[in-house]
Amino acid sequence: MGNINDILNRLYHKLNIKSDAEFCRKYNIKQNTLSTWKARNSIPYELLLSISKEENIPVDYIFLNKNFNTSHNENNGYKIKKISHNASAGTLTDIEGIEVYDTDDFIFISKNLFKTNINPEKTRIVEVVGDSMSPTLNSGDYVIINIDNNFIGDGIYVINYKNIFMVKMLQQKPDGLKIKSINPLYESYELEEDSQEIFDIIGKVIKTIS
């Protein structure tokens, strides 16, 4: 996705920030935290997505240095709603008795990130927490999903399995579905067609920001 120093340099230039200290003051960050990000090339996705929204800077400019446009012209991209809960990839996100809902937060995503047009009314963005889908998805990545309760072929989906809101690979099997963790250190599951276990598809992943 990029180098943290390159990302910060782009932000500093567009926001007319002169130093790391000024950036830390503006966004209430400890300077040793910023130093750690730089030393480890660790990208603070949640902060950068928040800056994208607050400062009207497209996400793909921040991460990819593509097509900067100070106004979020909806002809050039989509405003995609965030879902209220993170999707578990090894860190349990128990949603029993808890409503998972659309928030009022939108992330502007350029059309250039998609090969075909999408319907933003049927599209959501979700943060991934955990490393059961590593190396394909890592903790802190975001997935963009097409909201559809149907299985539409093998791929990565956001699902509710046994009241755990999770992101997993789904694969068609002769007698049901395999719920697969890509990281071999984590468990995968078999779901038979007549299973009575709690299982709902939220949507299939159509794009990742990692």
- 9-30 residue pLDDT tens: 989 988 999 999 999 999 999 9
CA atoms within 13 A on the CB side of 64: 11
pTM for the whole thing? 0.67
Question: Does the structure show a pLDDT above 70 at 96?
Answer: no
What the block records as the tokens of 127 is: 């943060």
pLDDT at 143 over 90: yes
- Could you tell me the end-to-end alpha-carbon distance of the chain, in angstroms, rounded to an integer? 6
Domains for the chain: give ranges and CATH numbers: 4-64 (no CATH), 77-209 (2.10.109.10)
What pLDDT is attached to residue 21?
A: 93
Please give the share of the chain, as a percent, with pLDDT higher than 90.
36
Whether the CB-CB separation of 20 and 34 falls below 8 Å is answered with yes
Q: What is the pLDDT of residues 154-169, one digit of tens each?
A: 999 999 988 888 999 9
Of the pLDDT bands very low, low, confident and very high (cuts 50, 70, 90), residue 75 is: low
Mean per-residue pLDDT for 33-50? 86
pLDDT at 70 exceeding the cut of 50: no
* Of the candidates 140, 167, 173, the residue with the CA atom closest to the CA atom of residue 154: 173
Is it the case that residue 94 has pLDDT exceeding 70?
no
As a whole number of angstroms, the longest Cα–Cα distance in the chain is 61
Mean pLDDT for 141-160 is 93
How confident is the model at residue 154, as a pLDDT? 96
